[in-house]
Amino acid sequence: TRDILARWGGEEFCIIVAEMDLKHIEHFTERIRYSIEKFDFSIDRPVTASFGIARYIFGQSAEEFIRRADSALYAAKNSGRNRVVVDSGSEPEI
C-alpha cells in the first residue's frame, strides 16, 4: 500500500493514508484513538492521543498540507485532548 506512518518529531507522528475519503479516514483515525485510550499500557497514568486530519488539495504545497493538519491537531489538543479534529478546509465543496 501507499500508507505511511512516521515519527514527525517529539511526541508527534504523521499518518498519510492514500485513496480514502474523508468520512472513512475520520472513522479510521477515531478507531486508532479509541484503541490507544483503551489499551492497558501498565503505567500509572492514562495514555491518550489527539489527531488532526487534513485532506490533500491538488496543487497544494507539502508545507501547507502539513500546516493544516498541524493546526487541526492543536485544535484537538486545545479542546480537551484525546480527540480527532478535521481541518475545516478539508471538507469537500458542494
Catalytic residue positions?
11
Report, in this order, helix, strand and coil percent for the chain, each rounded to 5: 40, 20, 45
Task: Please report, as a single letter, which amino acid is at residue 38.
Answer: K
Give φ, ψ of 54 to 5 degrees: -135, 140
Are 87 and 32 a contacting pair, CB within 8 Å?
Answer: no
Residue with cell 493544516: 68
Question: Which residue has 498540507 as its cell numbers?
Answer: 65
